[in-house]
Amino acid sequence: DMVPKTYVGMFVGALCALAGVLCIAL
């Protein structure tokens, strides 16, 4: 239960970070 949750959290975190970088770049 903890592993999938962490995996999803990392995925969402990476996605948000990427979106933030793109927004700042634009």
Which residues of the chain fall short of a pLDDT of 70?
1-2
Q: Distance (Å, rounded) from C-alpha 18 to C-alpha 23?
A: 9
The answer to whether the predicted template modeling score (pTM) of the entire model surpasses 0.75 is no
pLDDT at 1: 63
Q: What is the DSSP string of the chain?
A: -HHHHHHHHHHHHHHHHHHHHHHHH-
Alpha carbon of residue 18 to chain centroid: 7
pLDDT at 26: 83
Q: Distance (Å, rounded) from C-alpha 12 to C-alpha 26?
A: 21
pLDDT at 9: 87
- Cα distances (Å, whole numbers) of residue 11 to 4, 14, 26: 10, 5, 23
